[in-house]
Every structure is written in structure tokens, then in C-alpha cells.
Amino acid sequence: MLELLTEKFSKAIGRIRDTRKLTEKQVNDVLRDIRAALIEADVDYDVVKSFIKRVRERALKEDLSKSPSPQDGLLLTIYEELVNTLGKEKEDLKKGVVLFVGLQGTGKTTTIGKVANYLKNKGFKIAVSSTDVRRPAAMLQLQRLAEKIEVPYYGFEEGLSAIDIAERAMTKAKEERIDYLLLDTAGRLHIDEELMEELRQIKEIVKPSEVLYVADAMQGQSALSAAKVFHETLGLTGIVLTKMDGDARGGVALSVKEALGVGVKFIGVGEKIEDIEPFYPDRIAQRILGLGDIQSLVEKAQEAIPEDEAQAIAYKVLKGEFDLEDMLKQIRLIKKMGPLDKLLGMLPGIGAQIKDLKIDERKFKKTEAIILSMTKQERKNPKIINLSRKQRIAKGSGTTISDVSKVLKEYEEMKKIIKRLKGMQGMPQLPKFPFPFKR
């Protein structure tokens, strides 16, 4: 996500890596590269112009010598202005009826399923319904998504208008004391007056707490233009960007707050039902600047790893009792956290470097199969695994003796690292960046 911007920003700021004192020319050179990067990423031209102007004025006005280095001072200025451009603070979803609008083909119905799943996992009472009477397939899709994540789907008899469905769904949600009613609406391949009139009437009836426009992040400026028309007609309260994990250049995410006055609420980062994230301006700014996203990584780890299990593994590590059974648990926990390339992209300095890297996650499956083909005794004490045992393990896992040997070697390397960590006085610290990271 945003690898193009990360790469370009890193190169631009790298111009002043060893500089002791910043000149006006150096600032202008860096900002010229950043401006080109933003335009290439399809950021709205007026937003780019405003952003560059603010950074330049601050960089030339403020005393950057107070920073640890001129590079850090300029980096902090760029970071703060990026956060401002992206919307400053994370915007929470207000309880009530949440109306989802947008053009056809942007992933609106799937997004509703993802948001419903996200909110349900946060402990809220959720229901979903669809007013798309022109496309019964869209209604059926949302109903199946609701069944999958186990939230109520409000369906009604055939022949009702979209406005009637919206009104009945709202009434039912109030009766059942629902925290969030997520309401799907009809989409079109293009904007027309009939669609807008229907949406206006639905909004008037249900008086939604939120009107969210679902946009395809890969469509760039065309998505922003369409969002402007919906905003003028309906008064949007937020944007949901889909396909941020694809070849999206990030222009829409950087443009909407300043161009429309409404912020991004969620971003879709994959095809699975759990692949949606709340939009944190500070974390996105950190990713763009190649500083990773440690907060999101920690949150994913906390969701995937039960606290008692984490403590048990930590205890075994401290006692030097880490065995192949523990290695198997670690592999499974990492798999639960999501694709490895996404996790690596959250580490400082890694995002731009792995943009073309294809990580073969089948290796996890192979390692898992090899360990599962061992006896309990072999997992507890791998030293007893001789050639004949390797042959049996390879046959049982559908691999080769060489594959088994590689897994054992990786295990020994892991044990050495753990032993070194155990002997250190305190864990190694992450690099210190001059940013007010929020926990």
C-alpha cells in the first residue's frame, strides 16, 4: 500500500541525508521531487499546491537547527503537513443508520459486509439491509455476507420501493435496539438524476448518522470527481476507499479531506471479510515516509495472539526451552495475522523495498507439514532426528530429506537468536523518530 509514494518520498528526502545546514535551494529541490511524486500518485493539483506551499513556508521560517539534524527537522515538517492533509485525526463512525452510496463496481456491497464484521468484532449490535431493488443479486450477496458473519439481514417482501425498504429497516433497527444499521443503496455505472432523487428521498426518511461514499482507490481523480457530485447532493460525512492493497497510487486518500472537507473512515486492504482498516492519518503518513506502522502491527498481533499464549511462549523463550512445537505455534500465529508482505510493509524502512518482492507463503505450509509429520518426542528433542527419521518425516509430509534438513537448520538458527536475546540486558530498541506516535 502506497509503495510508490514511499519510494519517491524516501529518494527526495535522501537528498539531504548528510547535510549539516539546509539551504533554500536544497529545500526547493526536495519539494520539487515530492511535488512530482504527489502528481504522479494522482493527488488533486490544488491539494498538491497547498501542501508544498505550507511545507516550504514552514521549512524556511522555522529554526530547523533545533532538530537532531536538518533532515529530521524537514522530515517532521513534512510528516505534520501530511497528517493535516490526510485529516489530522481518525474519524469514528457515529451510531445510527449508516447509508452507503456510490457508483456500481466499486465494491460497495462487499464493503458493507466488511464494515459490519469489523463493528461486530468491536462488540456492537449490527444489522444490514439493501434498498437495491433493481439488482436482486446485490440483495442476495449482502444477505449471504450477513449470514457468513452472523449479523441480521433485514429482508422484506417483493414489490416494495427502495424508500419503503429503508423506512421499514430503520423501524426494525430501532425496535431491536441496533447500534448500527448499515444500509446498501443502488449504484449506477454513471451518475443520473433518477439515482440521486432516490438517494435524497432515502436520506430524508432515515435521517442517517453517516452517509459514506464508497470509492475505488485505483480510479484516482475520476473517483474524486464522482464523490464531489454525491457530496453536493447528499452531504457526505465520510469516504471508504476500496482496493488500497492493489496498484492504488494513493491520490484519492491524500485528496478527499482537503478537496471535499470530509475524511476517509475506512480503507479496504484485501479481498477477505476481515481486510478492512480504520483510517488513521498519522499512521498513513508514517507509511508514506517509510517509517512503517508499528501501531497497526502491534494491534494485529494482539488480535491474533491470545495473551496467555503470548506469555507462555515468552516464558519458554526466557528459560531457553523453545522447541519445534513452539516453532509450529509461531508459524500459525503469523499466518493468522495476515499476508507476510503486508506485515513486513508495516516495519520501518521496509515498505518501498518489498514493493516488487513476491513472498512465497507456501513455505509456511511446507514447514507446518514437516513438523506435523514428526512425533511428539522429535518435536521436543530434534537432536534425535537421524537419517532414517528424516526419510520417514519427508515421506509423511510429501517433501524431501533436504526440506526436512532446512527446517531443522532454521530451527537451530532461531534458537541461537533467542539465546542471544536472552543474554542481552533489555531488548533492542526501535530507531527513535521525532514523531508523536499515538498509542
Q: What domain count does the chain have?
A: 3
φ/ψ (deg, to 5) at 294: -65, -35
Query: What Cα–Cα distance (Å) separates residue 273 from each residue in 134, 244, 269?
Result: 25, 15, 10
This prediction has a pTM of 0.69
CA distance 331 to 361: 11
Last residue within a domain, chosen from 67, 86, 105? 86
Residue 406 sits in a domain whose CATH number is 1.10.260.30
Give me the pLDDT at residue 228, please.
92
Give me the pLDDT at residue 313, please.
61
Looking at the structure, tell me whether residues 113 and 78 fall in a common domain: no
Q: 74 with 30: CB under 8 angstroms?
A: yes
Q: 11 with 33: CB under 8 angstroms?
A: yes
Looking at the structure, tell me whether residues 339 and 204 fall in a common domain: no
Is 142 part of any domain?
Answer: yes
Give me the pLDDT at residue 112, please.
96
Query: What Cα–Cα distance (Å) separates residue 326 from each residue in 45, 306, 411?
Result: 52, 14, 10
Question: What is the extent of the structural domain holding 332?
Answer: 296-423
For the chain, how long is the longest CA-to-CA vector?
75
Residue 134, SS3 per DSSP: coil
Which ranges of the chain have pLDDT less than 50? 293-294, 348-350, 352-354, 357, 424-439
Looking at the structure, tell me whether residues 34 and 61 fall in a common domain: yes
Tens of pLDDT, residues 151-182: 999 999 888 999 999 999 999 999 999 999 99
Give me the pLDDT at residue 433, please.
42
Tens of pLDDT, residues 210-267: 999 999 888 878 888 889 999 999 999 999 999 887 655 678 888 999 999 999 999 9
